[in-house]
């Protein structure tokens, strides 16, 4: 009877150890995954509000200048500047 009890206790201890090991592995893998995600996405976290504002302003300026160049391109580029020509052509044909 005592032997069976000892056996049971040993089994419990073993099971406990495997569970703990599994949990440890799982936790470490989660940490690794988190790190990997952080390294791939690279989202700059700016707590400094002034810096945040400055960045957004720069972004706005960039977008504005891009938009300007886009508009400029559309004025100079004949492919983009043919919005009115088809109707005009049809009138000429008639």
User: Based on the structure, what is the number of domains in the chain?
Assistant: 1
Identify whether 61 is part of a domain.
no
Across 26-60, b (16+ Cβ under 10 Å) vs e yields eeeeeeeeeeeeeeeeeeeeeeeeeeeeeeeeeee
Q: Model confidence at 19, in pLDDT bands (50, 70, 90)?
A: confident
Q: What is the pLDDT of residue 84?
A: 54
3-state secondary structure of 52: helix
Dump pLDDT digits (tens) for 26-53.
888 888 888 777 666 666 665 667 776 7
Global pTM reads 0.29
Side-chain-side CA neighbours of 73 within 13 Å: the count stands at 8
Structural domain including 8 reads 2-41+67-93
Q: What is the pLDDT of residue 94?
A: 46
Identify whether 57 is part of a domain.
no
Q: What angle do CA 37, 45, 50 make, to 5 degrees?
A: 165
Classify residue 81 by its DSSP letter: S
Q: What is the pLDDT of residue 80?
A: 54
Q: What is the pLDDT of residue 12?
A: 87
Identify whether 37 is part of a domain.
yes
């Amino acid at each position: 009877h005592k032997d069976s009890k000892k056996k049971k206790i040993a089994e419990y201890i073993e099971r406990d150890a495997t569970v703990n090991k599994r949990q440890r592995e799982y936790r470490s893998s989660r940490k690794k995954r988190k790190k990997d995600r952080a390294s791939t996405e690279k989202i700059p976290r700016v707590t400094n509000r002034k810096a945040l504002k400055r960045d957004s302003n720069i972004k706005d300026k960039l977008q504005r200048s891009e938009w300007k160049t886009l508009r400029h391109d559309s004025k100079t580029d004949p492919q983009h500047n043919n919005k009115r020509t088809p109707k005009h052509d049809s009138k000429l044909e008639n």
